[in-house]
Amino acid sequence: MFNYTNCITWSMLMQREEGESELITFRLVQPEADRATIVTFYADISEEEAAQGGFHFDEAEYLEFAKQKAADLPEGFVFMERDGETIGELVLRKAEYEGREVGYISFIYLIQAARGKGYSEQMIDYAERLFTKLNLTEYHLRVAQANARAIRFYEKHGFYILGEEQNSISQACWRMGKRIARLGRGA
């Protein structure tokens, strides 16, 4: 069950296998106040990329990027919280692709302890709700070609490969897309 009044206060109650329930909420990121958390999350991903070579994390540069994201689309820069504990971050934006405006997932992150437990599906649902609210009919993301687990996850959730691209560290990636189904109008 979920309560969706707007993207800022979107929350849901998740039933866990053990019969317990937990409250999942999304809250707006405040870059200065949430600096330690956003830096920790991004640095965690950056360490993985740095291990592949060619990437250096600049905290000040990332904070400026975060401030701009929060200003551009506040509802697109959110933390996922489980019973008040921050377990993930989602960064969404609008982008131009082949002459049309699409939604774009710039960053999706879950702490290690929250991975593989269904939270990613809730992040995808949040993204689709926001992109629908923005009257977008499709959205994209980029995933490393070497990340077979993530590719399977996205394909399972309706994404398809649009083409090959490189990320900021020249890593081979797939650009994947998904059309947003509209009620009463089909996919």
Instruction: Give me the pLDDT at residue 78, please.
Output: 98
Please give the Cα distance from 11 to 113 (Å, whole number). Answer: 20
Task: Inform me whether the pLDDT recorded for 53 exceeds 90.
Answer: no
Instruction: Give me the pLDDT at residue 43, please.
Output: 82
State the pLDDT confidence band at 15, using cuts at 50, 70 and 90: low
User: What are the structural domains of the chain?
Assistant: 2-137 (3.40.630.30)
Segment 99-137, tens digit of pLDDT: 999 999 999 999 999 999 999 999 999 999 999 999 999
Q: How far is CA 187 from CA 1, 128, 163, 177, in A?
A: 24, 13, 21, 13
Q: How far is CA 152 from CA 66, 158, 161, in A?
A: 29, 10, 11
Instruction: Give me the pLDDT at residue 170, please.
Output: 80
**167 neighbors 112 (Cβ within 8 angstroms):** no
Instruction: Give me the pLDDT at residue 46, please.
Output: 59
Q: Give bridge partners of residue 111 from the DSSP assignment.
A: none
Task: Inform me whether the pLDDT recorded for 151 exceeds 90.
Answer: yes
